[in-house]
Amino acid sequence: MHNVKFSVVEKNSHSVTLIGMSKTLLVKNVHPLGKEAVDLLVLDGLIAQITPAGSTQNQADTVIDGNNQLLLPGLVNAHAHIDKNLIGQPWHRNELQGATIRDLVDYERKIQLEEGLSTRTQSKLDVEASIAAGTTHIRTHVDIDPEIGLTGFEGVLGTKEEFKDRLTMQTVAFPQRGMLINPGTVELLEEALKMGADAMGGLDPSTVDRDPTQHINIVFDLAQKYGVEVDIHLHEPGMLGAFSVELITERTQALGMQGLVTISHVFCLGMVDDGYLNRLIDQILENDITIMSLGSGKGDFPPLKKLNDAGVRLCTGTDGVRDTWGPYNYVDMLERIKLMGYRSGFRRDEDVEMLLKVATYGGAAVMKDDSYGLEVGKAADFVIVPGEATTQAVVELRPRSYVIKRGRIVAKDGALITD
């Protein structure tokens, strides 16, 4: 028997405040991924019961009337950069010159230093906006280099700790400004792994670091030494990028790290001919490597439907948002799906639904969250959003009615709930 107590939600223009914590939560009349309406009972953060709508009594500490809306699993942003954004700042007029990775990171660092922003504050603002938009999980890459040392990483760790009950977060130690070309970076990356980074990052072994074998040696050696995963940014085009994919898959195989490696962006998969692409897909599948794509770039990006149909693990994310790289990215993962579908030329609902799966189950898989899913016994991480069909939610992008993390209401009507 659970004590009946009521949770009160107060609302002002910026946020709502939940008074009183609850152990049981009953969500009535929602359509999981657009299917038949159900009631869903949550007990101590886990989904305890799913029954046909209208069949459950009001015997919970908190009751939400889902009002015939959609129920989605928590949105998973599996590729973010929450350490560097300009959220809350006056609009930055982008005056970037050039288009190489070097041009982008130099411009980014110049603006960051001029503005003197706190990574702790900016990462917190990113997380707050993300939760309000229905994100329950974030894997974030964090810049580490001799110029800023570990200050960015420490700021993100502070935010991770502050939000540990409201967001599942993983950090990737990331050499955004190069590793071999930037002496002192490797030592700092190792320090971040000692401090608890969940994955070892890498960046363009040839075009940035100029020595692909040595780059991959260091990335994989550190990952093995600290027992973490690998997540490498690979922007390299065409055959050069494909060569890097081969080096990464070969190393994964040699070290027995199947299922522990992600390659992010991998534009080259959209550039090589079909025969070569098929061989790369075989190597990716043999080593259970995850491909992260957000459909970015002015040109080619991985053929998502072909990869999905072949059985390749896929995940997606926002990448950096409200930053100096470009004006389009923001925190809403449904908007990300819309952009990916638009860029992929998808028309059919089932193709958009595939992308939603990538942005939910795909991301949870790469983050190794076994408690994830809209099933009894899984963590109560979900989003209630207006609409009849998931593609409608992706297209209309209406404010999320409720965001639930581990059975707790963390956002309502598009606004974060504060304690």
C-alpha 279/C-alpha 102 separation (Å) is 31
C-alpha 114/C-alpha 94 separation (Å) is 14
Task: Between 362 and 373, name the residue whose CB sits nearer to Zn ion.
Answer: 362
Cβ(103)–Cβ(134) below 8 Å? no
Q: Least distance from C-beta 217 to Zn ion, angstroms?
A: 22
Q: Least distance from C-beta 235 to Zn ion, angstroms?
A: 9
Which residues lie closer than 8 Å to 403 by C-beta, 6 or more apart? Answer: 74, 131, 132, 133, 134, 136, 382, 383, 384, 409, 410, 411, 412
Task: Between 245 and 416, name the residue whose CB sits nearer to Zn ion.
Answer: 245
How buried is residue 187: exposed, middle or buried, by Cβ count under 10 Å (0-12/13-18/19+)? Answer: exposed
Task: Between 223 and 383, name the residue whose CB sits nearer to Zn ion.
Answer: 223
Task: Between 128 and 319, name the residue whose CB sits nearer to Zn ion.
Answer: 319
Helix (H) or strand (E) holding 104: helix 101-115
Task: Between 233 and 405, name the residue whose CB sits nearer to Zn ion.
Answer: 233
Q: Least distance from C-beta 315 to Zn ion, angstroms?
A: 12
Task: Between 176 and 182, name the residue whose CB sits nearer to Zn ion.
Answer: 176
Which residues lie closer than 8 Å to 250 by C-beta, 6 or more apart? Answer: 283
Positions that interact with Zn ion (CB under 5 A) = 319
Task: Between 81 and 405, name the residue whose CB sits nearer to Zn ion.
Answer: 81
> How many residues are given for the chain?
419
Task: Between 319 and 369, name the residue whose CB sits nearer to Zn ion.
Answer: 319
C-alpha 186/C-alpha 191 separation (Å) is 9
Q: Least distance from C-beta 61 to Zn ion, angstroms?
A: 40
Q: Least distance from C-beta 294 to Zn ion, angstroms?
A: 9
Which residues lie closer than 8 Å to 31 by C-beta, 6 or more apart? Answer: 37, 38, 68, 69, 70, 71, 388
Task: Between 290 and 401, name the residue whose CB sits nearer to Zn ion.
Answer: 290
Cβ(405)–Cβ(136) below 8 Å? yes
Task: Between 104 and 222, name the residue whose CB sits nearer to Zn ion.
Answer: 104
C-alpha 329/C-alpha 84 separation (Å) is 13
Q: Least distance from C-beta 356 to Zn ion, angstroms?
A: 21
C-alpha 233/C-alpha 203 separation (Å) is 5
Q: Least distance from C-beta 307 to Zn ion, angstroms?
A: 19
Q: Which residue is nearest to Zn ion (CB)?
A: 319
Token pair listed for 40: 């869903």
Residue appearing with tokens 């993100």: 156
Which residues lie closer than 8 Å to 160 by C-beta, 6 or more apart? Answer: 169, 171
Q: Least distance from C-beta 395 to Zn ion, angstroms?
A: 26
How buried is residue 398: exposed, middle or buried, by Cβ count under 10 Å (0-12/13-18/19+)? Answer: middle
Q: Is 158 helix (H, G, I), strand (E, B) or coil?
A: helix
Token pair listed for 100: 């190489």
The phi and psi torsions of 209 (rounded to 5 degrees) equal -90, -10
Q: Least distance from C-beta 319 to Zn ion, angstroms?
A: 5
Q: Least distance from C-beta 201 to Zn ion, angstroms?
A: 9
